């Protein structure tokens, strides 16, 4: 039986599932973007919040799988059932290669991942004969298995929601497992972990690849929503945004990256419609977060709850209720 944490996630997903019932296409499509980029931010946060590695190349895996699917479907007419696994495989393969970056730490890790990310962006931009260059690849077909095709936005919304929910539940199991604990141990003190018999390199490499796989999955969900892909998808900007989402919402949590995604996507897609300085606003939001809520929205809520619980404890301390007597069995 799933326990409380898992039930909370399912409950939140059920709430999100009601969006198409009362909101129009604009909001449904915005929610899809929030979910997909939230998933990307969650993949970044496996490294950031648990292993303590700040990766700035996750747009590369995201774009790699999106481009693979787009090129296979549009140019070679490959059906979705093959294009999707191929996209995931290519994104993960890229993560297997880029995983060498876990040999570096701190600023060097950040710089190496930035450089790797730019390689992929450069390829999408310059290898025009294959990737379509600046124009990208357009007219990606609707997702279809055989004759069954998903053309409505609402139907695809539910597909995305289900996949993201499944992914989130799997992620939850992962971070609660011994493997997840090892990552947090490495974040705390690598030297201690080594002297206890751990190989930081091996665990971090596997974490990097898993994270790359998740980012690829987000890329696949994205391409069937957007139905076209261009170099902007692989851009540094996307990698940074994913990191910001994780920090804004709260690193090391599950809902955090999605909350961060809500804030950033709403600012970008809705506020920008009537407020031209939304980028400035985004900068301000980020500065306020770092200064006053370094643990993000979730951290803010948690500390507020802890403070309230402490206050309740000091006022209730006088009269503790006697324990309830067990009811006699009939």
b/e code 288-319 from CB counts within 10 Å (16+ = b): ebeeebebbbbbeeeeeeeeeeeeeeeeeeee
Spatial distance between the Cα atoms of 275 and 256, rounded to a whole number of angstroms: 26
What character string, x for contact with another protein (CB under 8 A) and - otherwise, covers 153-182? Answer: --------------------xx-xxxxxxx
| CB of 187 or CB of 235, closer to another protein | 187
Pairing of strands 148-149, 144-145: antiparallel
Q: Minimal distance in Å, beta carbon 180 to another protein?
A: 8
Q: Minimal distance in Å, beta carbon 192 to another protein?
A: 5
Q: Is 191 in the site for another protein (CB under 8 A)?
A: yes
Q: Which stretch binds another protein (CB under 8 A): 124-132, 192-200, 239-247, 301-309?
A: 192-200
Q: Minimal distance in Å, beta carbon 196 to another protein?
A: 4
Spatial distance between the Cα atoms of 65 and 90, rounded to a whole number of angstroms: 6
b/e code 86-112 from CB counts within 10 Å (16+ = b): bbbebbbbbbeebbebbeeeeeebbeb
Spatial distance between the Cα atoms of 143 and 221, rounded to a whole number of angstroms: 10
| CB of 124 or CB of 251, closer to another protein | 251
Spatial distance between the Cα atoms of 162 and 160, rounded to a whole number of angstroms: 5
Task: Name residues contacting another protein, limited to 266-285 (CB under 8 A).
Answer: none
Are 220 and 61 spatial neighbours (Cβ–Cβ below 8 Å)?
no
Contact residue for another protein among 113, 140, 187, 239 (CB under 8 A):
187
| CB of 195 or CB of 329, closer to another protein | 195
CA distances to 4, 35, 143, 221 from 187, rounded to whole Å, are 27, 27, 40, 30
CA distances to 51, 89, 325 from 322, rounded to whole Å, are 45, 60, 9
| CB of 196 or CB of 279, closer to another protein | 196
Torsion angles phi and psi, residue 137, rounded to 5: -120, 125
Q: Which stretch binds another protein (CB under 8 A): 19-27, 143-151, 188-196, 222-230?
A: 188-196
CA distances to 263, 321, 328 from 325, rounded to whole Å, are 49, 12, 9
What character string, x for contact with another protein (CB under 8 A) and - otherwise, covers 193-212? Answer: xxxxxxx---x---------
Q: Minimal distance in Å, beta carbon 297 to another protein?
A: 20
Q: Minimal distance in Å, beta carbon 55 to another protein?
A: 19
Q: Minimal distance in Å, beta carbon 91 to another protein?
A: 19
Q: Minimal distance in Å, beta carbon 10 to another protein?
A: 18
Read off the tokens for 266: 């709403």
Q: Is 189 in the site for another protein (CB under 8 A)?
A: yes
Q: Is 308 in the site for another protein (CB under 8 A)?
A: no
| CB of 129 or CB of 195, closer to another protein | 195
| CB of 27 or CB of 198, closer to another protein | 198
Contact residue for another protein among 135, 151, 188, 303 (CB under 8 A):
188
Spatial distance between the Cα atoms of 105 and 96, rounded to a whole number of angstroms: 18
Proportion of the chain in helix, strand, coil states, percent, rounded to 5: 75, 0, 20
Q: Is 184 in the site for another protein (CB under 8 A)?
A: yes
Q: Minimal distance in Å, beta carbon 100 to another protein?
A: 18
DSSP string, 224-244: HHH--B-GGGGSHHHHHHHHH
Q: Minimal distance in Å, beta carbon 311 to another protein?
A: 20
Binding site for another protein (CB under 8 A): 173-174, 176-182, 184-185, 187-189, 191-199, 203
């Amino acid at each position: 039986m799933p326990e409380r944490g898992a039930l909370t996630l399912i409950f939140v997903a059920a709430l999100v599932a009601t969006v198409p019932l009362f909101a129009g296409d604009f909001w449904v499509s915005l929610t899809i973007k929030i979910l997909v980029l939230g998933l990307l931010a969650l993949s970044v946060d496996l490294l950031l919040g648990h292993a303590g590695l700040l990766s700035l190349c996750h747009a590369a895996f995201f774009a790699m799988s999106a481009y693979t699917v787009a090129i296979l479907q549009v140019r070679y007419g490959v059906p979705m059932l093959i294009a999707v696994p191929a996209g995931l495989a290519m994104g993960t393969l890229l993560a297997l290669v880029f995983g060498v970056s876990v040999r570096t730490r701190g600023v060097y890790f950040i710089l190496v991942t930035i450089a790797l990310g730019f390689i992929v962006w450069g390829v999408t931009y310059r290898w025009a004969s294959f990737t379509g260059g600046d124009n990208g690849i357009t007219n990606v077909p609707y997702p279809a298995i055989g004759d069954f095709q998903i053309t409505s936005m609402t139907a695809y919304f539910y597909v995305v929601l289900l996949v993201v929910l499944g992914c989130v539940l799997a992620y939850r199991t992962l971070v609660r497992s011994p493997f997840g604990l090892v990552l947090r141990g490495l974040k705390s003190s690598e030297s201690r972990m080594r002297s206890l018999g751990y190989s930081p390199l091996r665990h971090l490499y596997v974490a990097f690849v898993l994270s790359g796989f998740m980012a690829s999955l987000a890329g696949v969900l994205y391409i069937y929503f957007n139905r076209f892909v261009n170099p902007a998808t692989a851009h540094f900007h996307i990698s940074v945004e994913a990191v910001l989402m994780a920090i804004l919402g709260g690193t090391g949590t599950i809902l955090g990256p999605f909350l961060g995604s809500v804030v950033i996507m709403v600012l970008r897609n809705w506020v920008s419609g009537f407020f031209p300085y939304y980028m400035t606003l985004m900068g301000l939001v980020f500065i306020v977060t770092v200064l006053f809520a370094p643990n993000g929205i979730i951290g803010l809520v948690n500390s507020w709850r802890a403070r309230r619980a402490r206050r309740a404890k000091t006022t209730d301390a006088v009269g503790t209720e006697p324990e309830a007597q067990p009811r006699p069995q009939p």
